[in-house]
Amino acid sequence: MKLKTLLQWMMVTWATVGLCLPELAFSATPAPTPAVVDIELADGGVLHGQVVDLQKGGVAGVPVSLLAQDREVARTATTENGQFTIPGLRGGVYRVAAGKEAQGLFRIWSARTAPPAAQKKAIVYTQNCCAGGGGTLKMLLSNPIIVAGLVATAIAVPVALACGEPASP
């Protein structure tokens, strides 16, 4: 009887954890195409940008490629605070690829020709929560719903096992 109860609780625990995990953790479909963001170049056709993680902190040492119509136009790397600079650009639509999975789509405007809502620098978000990697596990453990589920399971399983045992005389 004790083994059966343990197996039942383990199945309930795995089902609960499975419901808490984000769908993207198991999805094979690519992320949707990002929206185009207007960016104003600095004088001299300089694009300023930054690669940030989920906590909006800069990520250092990330290779950054600037692509126009899937052709690489420029390449650089981020500084210690995640910033990058690419000089000598003209207006147009560009894709900024940072590392393996991060990218952004930008409509670049020459200096003083951009619409008023245009930003001064391109921000590219990476899925890694830190430069050292391990992003998926750290992302899951930083999710309060998953942490609450794990804590609830850690409390419920011993209680259920204790309740299932016959009282000692």
In the chain, the domains with their CATH numbers are 33-134 (2.60.40.1120)
Q: If phi over 0 gives left and psi between -120 and 50 gives alpha, with beta otherwise, what is residue 55?
A: alpha
Question: What's the pLDDT tens digit per position in 60-118?
Answer: 999 999 999 989 999 999 999 999 999 999 999 999 999 888 889 999 999 889 999 99
Question: Does pTM top 0.85 for this prediction?
Answer: no
Question: What's the pLDDT tens digit per position in 122-149?
Answer: 999 887 544 444 555 666 666 777 777 7
Question: What's the pLDDT tens digit per position in 19-45?
Answer: 666 555 555 555 555 589 999 999 999
pLDDT of residue 18: 67
